[in-house]
Amino acid sequence: MLFFINLFFKFSLLQKIIIWQNKYPNGLFLTIVCVLLIINSCSNFDRKTDEFREILHLKADIIDINEIIAPDFMTLKGNNLVISSSRSTPNMLYAYSTPLLEFKVDFGTQGQGPGEIKSFPMFCESPGSDDLYVWGYSPVTIKKISISENGEVGYKGEITLKRYEAFNNMTIIGDSVFVFYLPDNMTVKICDLVNNKERTITLSKDDHHQSYFYSNRGYIATNESKLVYSYLFKKQIDIYDLFTLKLKTRISDEKKYPKPTPGDFSSLTYHYVGLYASEKYFYALYRGGKWEAGDQSSLFLEVYDYDGNQIMKYSFDINPSLFVVDERNGKIYGFNEEYEDNLLRYNIKH
């Protein structure tokens, strides 16, 4: 049996059949071929390694900001870096021009009145669109907002969701597909808003109820055709076809990692701690070690295309805890809690 398993992963399907034909009599050979075909159909995805040939070190430009206390989330829309800050008042949304990061406008008043943000605002990424999508005006409402070059804010409509869920890592595609992650359930949902249908990707849970410590916990990011899942507690990234939901590529060091001990933060080894998707590439922020408050040990940003091919790996002089990538201007914009009155800007090349 061990020989059979090793054979499956080492050789192509044709090679496997030839080897087994020479090794076993006809009846057993036909049985084995059938089994191989079944297993191969269930494991039909590419396997990629995570070894990069080059690491480029990035030095941050430190940009002073006076308008906000601290960012919760950031996103790119057109020529704007937009930041949500729930601790800033009276407004919680702030736009800065790119690539200079000059303050442009603030909006999104916190409150319980009509048109006010009633919860902390979160962004829905919207690949292919320069419109800003904001959740938080109500538990089931996503507002569609435009920001002009001169800083005028326009409200273009809203999307009403069927029900509230604990939305994370949200994406809206063409005002018709809503993708989000439910880490407590280890589920990714892809909702057809036009036809009122849902599809899911479900990962296995550990045998306990402390969801932060689930060994398959991670992040998702989505472009218009692919969905990327990066794992928090192991060095693995899975790339799915967004329409078929089939796993297309797995990037992994293929090591076995111990499962986190529920409730014991000191036992945790963090791997991918952030994820960002653009049209051509995705960017996975990697730690590969313990993490405590104020820890400034090195993070790396791994860049891949959607076939899982390695593009570039970056290191930082100042680690970003939040980041977005402006491929048009060749920049990364980020934030680090130790530099609470600043934004960070890095020049990239790949």
CA atoms within 13 A on the CB side of 26: 0
- Could you count the other beta carbons within 10 Å of the beta carbon of residue 144? 19
At residue 293, the pLDDT reads: 62
At residue 42, the pLDDT reads: 47
Closest CA to 294 of 277, 314, 274, 319: 319
133 forms bridges with which residues in the sheet? 124, 144
CA 64, 66, 70: angle at the middle one, nearest 5?
Answer: 90
Contact between 142 and 159 under an 8 Å Cβ cutoff? The reply is: yes
Q: Where in the chain is the domain with CATH 2.120.10.30?
A: 46-347
CATH assignment of 46-347, given 1.20.1560.10, 3.30.2130.10, 3.40.640.10, 2.120.10.30? 2.120.10.30
Q: Is 297 helix (H, G, I), strand (E, B) or coil?
A: coil
Closest CA to 39 of 5, 89, 83: 5
At residue 50, the pLDDT reads: 63
Contact between 56 and 313 under an 8 Å Cβ cutoff? The reply is: yes
CA dist 13 and 259 (Å) reads 32
Counting DSSP H helices and E strands in the chain, the numbers are: 3, 26
Contact between 23 and 306 under an 8 Å Cβ cutoff? The reply is: no
Q: What is the dihedral of CA 154, 179, 97, 107, to 10 degrees?
A: 40
H/E stretch holding 284 = strand 281-289
The two three-digit tokens of residue 243, written as one number:
């329409």
At residue 148, the pLDDT reads: 95
H/E stretch holding 94 = strand 91-97
Q: What is the pLDDT along the chain (350 residues), one digit of tens a residue?
A: 433 334 333 344 444 444 445 555 555 545 544 444 444 444 577 887 767 888 999 999 999 999 998 899 999 999 999 999 999 989 999 999 999 999 999 999 999 999 999 989 999 999 999 999 999 999 999 999 999 999 999 999 999 999 999 999 999 999 999 999 999 999 999 999 999 999 999 999 999 999 999 999 999 999 999 999 999 999 999 999 999 999 999 999 999 999 999 999 998 999 999 999 999 999 999 999 987 666 666 899 999 999 999 999 999 999 999 999 999 999 999 999 999 999 999 999 87
Q: Is 17 helix (H, G, I), strand (E, B) or coil?
A: helix
Closest CA to 219 of 234, 207, 241, 209: 234
Per-residue DSSP letter, 198: E
Classify each residue of 288-315 as buried b or exposed e, where b means 16 or more C-beta atoms within 10 Å of its C-beta.
eeeeeeeeeeebbbbbbebebebebbbe
At residue 327, the pLDDT reads: 96
Amino acid at 213: F
Contact between 270 and 260 under an 8 Å Cβ cutoff? The reply is: no
- Write the CB contacts of 169 (distance below 8 Å, at least 6 apart in sequence): 180, 181, 219, 220, 221, 275
